[in-house]
Each structure stands twice: as structure tokens, then as C-alpha cells.
Amino acid sequence: MKQKKIQCKIPLQTIQEGIHEFTFIIEKTFIEQYTIEEVLDANITVVVTFRKQTQLHHVNYSITGTAVVPCDRCLDDCTVTLEMSDSLVLKIAASDNEFADSEDVYYIQSDDTEVDISNLIYESIILALPLQKIHPEGMCNKEIEKYIRSEEQKKNTTIDSRWESLQNMFDN
């Protein structure tokens, strides 16, 4: 039997108008089910502040935690910190024509009982990943580090010898 996909849902009908807070914990199972590229593991807390009104609802959310990704330099597992927050508006669509989602307005149906924000969380985690996923200085895999160093040295020596022959040309 296929395991049911983890979903992060906010109830719409069973809660009163006003402010509600929801917390979702994102771990390996979520990462695996949504196949977040490069991310191997995660320990992320998503806090959603949901303000329910009659025609539209405000969603403020923050993402904090850590993710394990391969290091850009040595490819070993590397833990990076994620931190971001954003907001959006959920609006009840007046007619079917109004279903054109714009950047931060999402349309819902008046009879929707809940809203699934899993995709939003998925996209936000990707956005929150740092551009440079790299171990702190000196924390990379020692063997790989040694190899990278020797390759860099080789490159430098080739450049040096090229300079020498160029210099010789001028000297002559």
C-alpha cells in the first residue's frame, strides 16, 4: 500500500474568524515525498499565522531550521541553516473566471474545507536554501581538500612555467 503523502493543511470551515497559529514540522519524510532536489534531510519548523476573515484570509509564515545538502566543494553532507518568512492572501473566488493566481493572492472556493500549503512550503524551502552550500573553512572532507589543493597547485605551477617561458622570450 502506498504511504499517504504528508500534507500541511489549514482548516477553513472548522475555525472561527480571527487569528490562529499552526506549526508544521518538516523532516526527511516530507523531503523524500516532495523530492526536494539536493536536500537529503531536514529539520525545519514552519509557523503559520492565519487570520481568517469573511472574504479573504491572511497567511504569514516563517521557515526556520536546518537542511542537509551535499557540500559544493567536497560533496560530503553539509548542514545549512534556513530562515525566511513571507505572506500571502487567500481570497474566495467570486466566479470561476477569477481563478488566475497572482504572485501572492491565491484563490479558493467558498466551500473549500481546508487549504493545502504543502507546495508553498516546498517552494519556500527551495528559496530559503543558501546559494553557496559549503562547509565552514577547514571543515571539508580532508582527503578531497588535499586533492583540491594539489590540483590548484598544479594549475599554479603550469601558469608559473608559462610565465617563465614568456619571460625568457623577452629576455632573449
* DSSP designation for 136: -
Strand spans (E) along 53-126: 56-70, 77-92, 105-108, 114-116
The verdict on 74 binding Zn ion (CB under 5 A) reads yes
Q: Write down the least CB distance from residue 73 to Zn ion, Å.
A: 4
Residue 6 near residue 30, CB atoms below 8 Å: yes
| Residue for grid cell 481546508 | 114
Q: d(Cα 81, Cα 135) in Å, to the nearest integer?
A: 12
From the list 20, 51, 58, 73, which residue makes contact with Zn ion (rule: CB under 5 A)? 73
The verdict on 80 binding Zn ion (CB under 5 A) reads no
**Cβ-based neighbours of 10, under 8 Å, separated by 6 or more:** 20, 22, 48, 50, 59, 114, 115, 117
Question: Binding mask 126-165 vs Zn ion (x if CB under 5 A, - otherwise)?
Answer: ---------x----x-------------------------
Of residues 5 and 146, the one with the C-beta less far from Zn ion? 146
From the list 10, 46, 67, 71, which residue makes contact with Zn ion (rule: CB under 5 A)? 71
The verdict on 117 binding Zn ion (CB under 5 A) reads no
Among the residue ranges 38-46, 67-75, 119-127, 162-170, the one whose residues contact Zn ion (CB under 5 A): 67-75
Residues of this chain that interact with Zn ion (CB under 5 A) are 71, 73-74, 135, 140
